[in-house]
Structures are given as structure tokens and as C-alpha cells.
Copies of this chain bind each other. A is one copy, B any other.
Amino acid sequence: MQTINLAQKLSLFNEHWKPHIVGELNGQLVKLGKFKGPFTWHHHENEDELFLVVKGRFRMDFREAGKDREVWLEEGEMIIVPRGTEHRPFADEECHVLLFEPASTLNTGNVENEFTLKDLERV
């Protein structure tokens, strides 16, 4: 049982769109990610996903019932994306984000492409 310092953990990797695991509890993972540019559109069939902005800001794009919508998230703000919701994060500048989601969650959900990560690293 150790203290986890978010800034220190974030200093240990630089890749964008490659969240690293920093904790695990109750079958859920806590991850830290660095976002920059557009991610890929996707949804998660069975998992809700939490995004909390630690530094910077990013935009979450949604497609709900054919309607597009976007939400900007600033530092100290979070959003919970319910399972089944088509979404795409986008950051104009590098943004640091804490994610909370089930251990079973694949980063690109129902999509498999160059963003897909099968094995996450821990820091």
C-alpha cells in the first residue's frame, strides 16, 4: 500500500494515447493518460468510463442518436461516458487525464486499429 503521486507517475512516460495503469481496486483500473490530437471514434459495449482532467483540457465528442455533440473538459472536471455511447476524445494541446474503468476495458472499445492497446504497462 503506497502513496501514488499523479504528477510523478505522469513523468514516467511520454506517449500519447497510451494510458498506463497506476492502481487497481475492486476489478477496476486507475490509469493515467496523455492525450494529444484526435483519438478514434468507438464505444464500449459493457463498460462505463470515467475521465478526470489532471492537467490541461480536452474535448469529448459524442454521437448520440445520430446527433453530434461536444463537451470541453477543463482541469478539475470529469465526465462519465456510459456504456454504448459513441465517443472520441480530442486534445488541441497535451492533456493529462485520470481514467477509471473496469479491468476488462479495451481502449478502443468495439474498434481495432492503430490506437488499440492489448497490453497496458504499469508505472
Contacts and interface: CB of A to CB of B under 8 A. Distances in A.
Interface of A: 1-7, 23-26, 28, 30, 47-50, 54, 62, 71, 73-74, 76-82, 85, 100-102
Given A3-B73, A71-B3, A73-B3, A80 B50 contact: no
A68 to B, nearest CB: 14
Given A6-B78, A100-B100, A62 B28 contact: no
Chain A: interface secondary structure? Answer: strand
A71 B5 CA distance: 13
B80 A1 contact: yes
Contacts of A23: 50, 78, 80
